[in-house]
Structure 1
Amino acid sequence: MEYQWHEARLALGGERRLTIPALTLLAGQQWCFVGSNGSGKTALARALCGELPLCQGRAPVITGALRLSFESQQQLMAAEWQRRNTDMVGEEEEAGYLVSTLLLEQGDEAEARHWLRRFGVEALWSRPLRFLSSGEGRKVLLARALLAHPTRLVLDEPFDGLDQDSRRDLAALIGELAEAGLALVLIVNRFDEIPTGATHLGLLSDGCLLLAGARAEVEGSAEVRQLMALNRTAPPLPPPYEPPPSLPPGPLVQMRQIRVAYGAQVIIDGLDWTLLPGQHWQITGPNGAGKSTLLALITGDHPQGYSNDLTLFGVRRGSGESIWQIKRHIGLVSPALHLDYRVACSARTVILSGFHDSIGLYVTPGDRQWALAEQWLNLLGLAGQGEQPFHALSFGQQRLLLIARALVKQPPLLILDEPLQGLDPLNRHLVREVLARLIATGRSQVLFVSHHPEDAPAGLTHRLCFVPDAVGGYHYHQGALG
């Protein structure tokens, strides 16, 4: 089947448009589209599924296409939250969506279990959706999409949140699906995530499909060579908002024999770990190992923190401190925070909310807070976008704002869980440089989680590794970086 766009302009809301000068998708072709943050990648994904109204030009009528994206994951989590927060809450609603419930809505059990097994996550069958890691959630949603048997599957940033082995497995699965005849389109921001089997490439810039054609032709273009070679140098860091808080001497975080379990499913078992002053830790391990759970214990967002021997900033967890007393010492970026940031607000408001550790802003900011928010907008290349609605921006631009939200108060502890998800090469370089400068100031200590080793900023001093053992659990290897 042939789908063709010619001089097409499609509405994105307000005056914004996506322009597709010329694009033809033919049976047997495997397309991958690349672009920087805000270039229009997600808009193109929507267009390829027939979701955008045509303003002028020619566009095909598309049926049977399915799009899998961060937006669809966020919508599912919002529905899950509503399910658990009704006035009439039964046992099933309290648990929220189980993985099994979610998949059985779309297909039969045998096929659902087949796809979970193919992704190596069949053990998640009875797990509540809200307890999945970012990578586990991606795998479950992809299994759900495949159960729908779409005529075309558009994967918007499918590798985000997946560890190295899972990315390799997904790339292999994409190849298998393509060979089986499924029409696949990938939207990515990393050139190294372009599948080897992609036959055609497209390059987006400023809401326009700049180039589209055979892979060799596009890869050899001057535009792609320039994009792959560019670097950005970060301007100086904005000053801190206030002097560093007075903390008691000793470790910022101390954990003894930590155990976290959901029924018979043990996530963390017997972990001893201490974060001493001056240390900056990289935390590594596969999807589902417990990395995000560990961070949630520190931020106060996990209820099992109360039942464990956990000391934060010199105070034993559960000794009467409030969650806000904990959070005022912490800056956080994580996939879970991004999913939860569903309030309607401006880009500037997102940064300002970092002063108060809130989702949305419920107090009037002072002049100095306002000025610092502007400086962070300028530093991250978002000058002039302060009044833009947060959810009208691209995923990558949203992630930049959440990074600024975490950094704006330059807290004693900065927790970065997959912070560079969704960022293009230029912005990844920029954020790494900003983090390296912040580490060098000695004001903030960093916990950094990423499945991409190359994403780690300079200045990390120690590593905690979650290493699978032979019986399905994990060992915890830790020590100084050489």
Structure 2
Amino acid sequence: MINTLITLKNAFVKFTGRQLFNSLNFTLNQGKNWAFVGKSGSGKSVLLQIIAGNMSLNGGQITYHFMDGANMQVPDDALATFHRFIAFAGAKHHFKTLSNTSELYYQQRYNSSDSEDSLTVRQYLQAVKVNRHKPPYWTFDKTIAALNLTELCDKQTIKLSNGETKRLMIAAALIKNPIILLLDNPMTGLDVNTRKSFNNLLNEIAASGISIVMATSAFEVPDCITNVAVLDNGDISQSLSKQQFEASEHRVAEKVIIDLDTLKVLLNTSANIHNYSQIVSMSDVRIQYGQKIILNKINWQINPGERWALLGPNGAGKSTLLSLINGDNPQAYANNIVLFDKKRGTGESIWDIKSKIGFVSPELYQYFPTDNSCLQVIESGFYDTLGLFRPSVKSRAELALAWMKALEIDKYATQLLKNIPASTQRLCLLARALIKNPALLIFDEPCQGLDDHQQQHFKSVVDAICSISNVTLIYVTHYQHEIPDSVDKVLRLDKGEVLS
């Protein structure tokens, strides 16, 4: 039996002219499960991509020892590359249309005709090629049961919630029956109960003989993990057993100080006063696709200046509810919904609605084009377009840069969105939501992928904005500690209905 699965020696990696790793060393032995922790941008996700073979080394060597001939027990495997035996569940999915001609697009899940042009959960999983280096432990039936996907088998992938999509990607990785399972922040997007059951699932995965390597928060290291590597500035600064690892050492203790005067200038509150009697009014709202009821008898009144938390488990209907407010769901016209004092269907356009809303969500992050610079991405918030498709306006570009400074990401201003850390990409989209000083902010899981400092800083920025303006806020999260202090109202959903 092979004891060492992978060795990485003196790894040197450059990306877009920036040095990511220099002489990094890592060894994965059989029976060991590793967690990579560290600040955002420290290289956790990049290291996973290197192990997966999705990024090349500029120097050094990576060896896949499990490819030694003695480990290949099926004739077909003699022609296989190491990729066959590594499964990777990353931060983004790559679902295709049924015709496989193009990627799915943002808003597609809410358009009934277009949403049919995607694989069902069953079809997606049945297309996964199963490794036969040993009898498969993770069969289709066992995997969908373990990840609570049984009732979703006939649902189109595009219609899944963020948390459901995360479970599907992990299921696809498991059905492959890999030797090594790589997980990039697998807990993000999962509700409280799912995170608890996922911890038990990881124990079973490890017991089935699969070695697990994951990037995760220092405060969410699962029980199955045996070793922790702390990454800092592209190097492993600490390599220790889980028993030696103290998560408390990685908590940010300093008080976040926000420059209120700067925020007042950015918000320009004296020039932007929103006068509405009602921000949102919903009466007996019902959303249904085929026989499936997504929302049922939803009544919700949001007045100017109110700050709401929208809470509920994965699949509760939160994203669909938000799509009715943000103008993305055409079923809004068939319901009694008033937005910004106007009933839907009385002449207002989608762009009229979007002009009053600053919005960010996991779905927007999933589908947002990445070929613009960070400044262009943020400036596009003025036009509510997915990218900047017109000449930049100097004053607006300067305001975009000022918002980047407020969120501590200005050093990335001229870099393309695709070339910066995922956490910084998310902060750029948050700045995009803030830049036009909208009447309503909708933040759907805005802290996904952010490290402890970034979370605390953003939370403080939101509270500061609420303290000096009359902005209305809807905030969605699965983590109680992420909810800003300014939030004082809660709407809870479960199975498409409001919980009393």
Q: TM > 0.5 between the two?
A: yes
1:111 aligns with 2:131: no
Mapped to 2, the partners of 1:94 and 1:225 lie a distance apart of 48
Mapped to 2, the partners of 1:241 and 1:338 lie a distance apart of 27
1:41 aligns with 2:44: yes
Q: Secondary structure at the match of 2:102?
A: helix
How far residue 245 of structure 1 moved from its aligned partner, in angstroms, is 5.4
How far residue 94 of structure 1 moved from its aligned partner, in angstroms, is 4.8
Mapped to 2, the partners of 1:41 and 1:288 lie a distance apart of 29
Matches within 5 A, 1:196-345: 196-219=223-246, 225=249, 228-230=252-254, 232-236=256-260, 237=263, 238-240=265-267, 243-244=271-272, 246-248=274-276, 250-345=277-372
Task: Select 2:160's aligned residue among 119, 128, 132.
Answer: 132
Mapped to 1, the partners of 2:115 and 2:320 lie a distance apart of 23
Equivalence for 1:97: 119
How far residue 229 of structure 1 moved from its aligned partner, in angstroms, is 3.8
Equivalence for 2:429: 402
1:22 aligns with 2:25: yes
Equivalence for 2:211: 183
Structure 2: tracts of 5 or more residues without a match: 66-81, 106-112, 131-137
How far residue 100 of structure 1 moved from its aligned partner, in angstroms, is 1.8
2:345 partner amino acid: G
Seen in structure 2, the aligned counterparts of structure 1 residues 84 and 197 have a Cα distance that, compared at 3 Å, is closer
Seen in structure 2, the aligned counterparts of structure 1 residues 130 and 47 have a Cα distance that, compared at 3 Å, is same
How far residue 23 of structure 1 moved from its aligned partner, in angstroms, is 1.7
How far residue 20 of structure 1 moved from its aligned partner, in angstroms, is 5.1
Could you report, residue by residue, the CA deviation over 1:375-423 in whole angstroms, capped at 9, with x for unpaired residues? 1111222122111110111111101111111111221100010000000
Matches within 5 A, 1:354-373: 354-373=381-400
Mapped to 2, the partners of 1:49 and 1:320 lie a distance apart of 51
Q: Secondary structure at the match of 1:438?
A: helix
Seen in structure 2, the aligned counterparts of structure 1 residues 206 and 84 have a Cα distance that, compared at 3 Å, is closer
Task: Select 1:421's aligned residue among 443, 448, 470.
Answer: 448
1:82 partner amino acid: S
Does the aligned pair in 1 maintain the 2:439–2:472 contact within 8 Å?
yes
Does the aligned pair in 1 maintain the 2:307–2:488 contact within 8 Å?
yes
Mean CA deviation greater in 384-393 or 20-29 = 20-29
How far residue 11 of structure 1 moved from its aligned partner, in angstroms, is 4.1
Q: Secondary structure at the match of 1:365?
A: coil
Seen in structure 2, the aligned counterparts of structure 1 residues 15 and 228 have a Cα distance that, compared at 3 Å, is closer
How far residue 21 of structure 1 moved from its aligned partner, in angstroms, is 2.8
Mapped to 1, the partners of 2:201 and 2:115 lie a distance apart of 34
Mapped to 2, the partners of 1:147 and 1:456 lie a distance apart of 36
Mean CA deviation greater in 413-422 or 58-67 = 58-67
Does the aligned pair in 1 maintain the 2:7–2:62 contact within 8 Å?
yes
Q: Secondary structure at the match of 1:363?
A: coil
Task: Select 1:12's aligned residue among 10, 15, 32.
Answer: 15
Does the aligned pair in 2 maintain the 1:343–1:359 contact within 8 Å?
no
How far residue 125 of structure 1 moved from its aligned partner, in angstroms, is 1.2
Equivalence for 2:63: 60
Q: Secondary structure at the match of 1:433?
A: helix
Mapped to 2, the partners of 1:113 and 1:231 lie a distance apart of 49
Task: Select 1:141's aligned residue among 138, 153, 169.
Answer: 169
Seen in structure 2, the aligned counterparts of structure 1 residues 450 and 227 have a Cα distance that, compared at 3 Å, is closer
Seen in structure 2, the aligned counterparts of structure 1 residues 446 and 263 have a Cα distance that, compared at 3 Å, is same
Q: Secondary structure at the match of 2:369?
A: coil
Task: Select 1:82's aligned residue among 87, 102, 105.
Answer: 102
Q: Secondary structure at the match of 2:436?
A: coil
Mapped to 2, the partners of 1:452 and 1:77 lie a distance apart of 31
Does the aligned pair in 2 maintain the 1:247–1:314 contact within 8 Å?
no
1:60 partner amino acid: T
Seen in structure 2, the aligned counterparts of structure 1 residues 217 and 127 have a Cα distance that, compared at 3 Å, is same
Mapped to 2, the partners of 1:347 and 1:361 lie a distance apart of 10
Mapped to 1, the partners of 2:256 and 2:181 lie a distance apart of 34
2:190 partner amino acid: L
Does the aligned pair in 1 maintain the 2:358–2:433 contact within 8 Å?
yes
Mapped to 2, the partners of 1:160 and 1:34 lie a distance apart of 14
Mapped to 2, the partners of 1:31 and 1:272 lie a distance apart of 46
Does the aligned pair in 2 maintain the 1:244–1:443 contact within 8 Å?
no
Mapped to 1, the partners of 2:128 and 2:259 lie a distance apart of 49
Query: Taking structure 2 as the reference length, what is the TM-score of the superposition?
Result: 0.86
Could you report, residue by residue, the CA deviation over 1:15-68 in whole angstroms, capped at 9, with x for unpaired residues? 433235322211111100012111111101112223332222332137211211
Seen in structure 2, the aligned counterparts of structure 1 residues 124 and 20 have a Cα distance that, compared at 3 Å, is farther
Does the aligned pair in 2 maintain the 1:155–1:185 contact within 8 Å?
yes
Seen in structure 2, the aligned counterparts of structure 1 residues 183 and 230 have a Cα distance that, compared at 3 Å, is farther
Mapped to 1, the partners of 2:208 and 2:429 lie a distance apart of 40
How far residue 346 of structure 1 moved from its aligned partner, in angstroms, is 0.5
Structure 1: tracts of 5 or more residues without a match: 86-90, 468-472
- Percent identity among equivalent residues? 29
Q: Secondary structure at the match of 2:442?
A: strand
Could you report, residue by residue, the CA deviation over 1:443-472 in whole angstroms, capped at 9, with x for unpaired residues? 3110000000110001112100114xxxxx
Does the aligned pair in 1 maintain the 2:95–2:103 contact within 8 Å?
no
How far residue 304 of structure 1 moved from its aligned partner, in angstroms, is 1.1
Q: Secondary structure at the match of 2:399?
A: helix
1:279 partner amino acid: E
Does the aligned pair in 2 maintain the 1:11–1:53 contact within 8 Å?
no
2:401 partner amino acid: E
User: What root-mean-square deviation, in Å, do the aligned CA atoms of Structure 1 and Structure 2 show?
Assistant: 2.4
2:258 partner amino acid: A
Does the aligned pair in 2 maintain the 1:10–1:18 contact within 8 Å?
yes
Q: Secondary structure at the match of 1:288?
A: coil
Mapped to 2, the partners of 1:364 and 1:376 lie a distance apart of 20
Could you report, residue by residue, the CA deviation over 1:193-239 in whole angstroms, capped at 9, with x for unpaired residues? 1112311001112222222232344539xxx8265545543343252
Mapped to 1, the partners of 2:62 and 2:398 lie a distance apart of 45
Seen in structure 2, the aligned counterparts of structure 1 residues 227 and 20 have a Cα distance that, compared at 3 Å, is farther
How far residue 93 of structure 1 moved from its aligned partner, in angstroms, is 8.7
Aligned length: 460
Could you report, residue by residue, the CA deviation over 1:109-146 in whole angstroms, capped at 9, with x for unpaired residues? x9334322222232211111111110011111111111
Q: Secondary structure at the match of 1:130?
A: helix
Equivalence for 2:179: 151
Seen in structure 2, the aligned counterparts of structure 1 residues 93 and 427 have a Cα distance that, compared at 3 Å, is closer
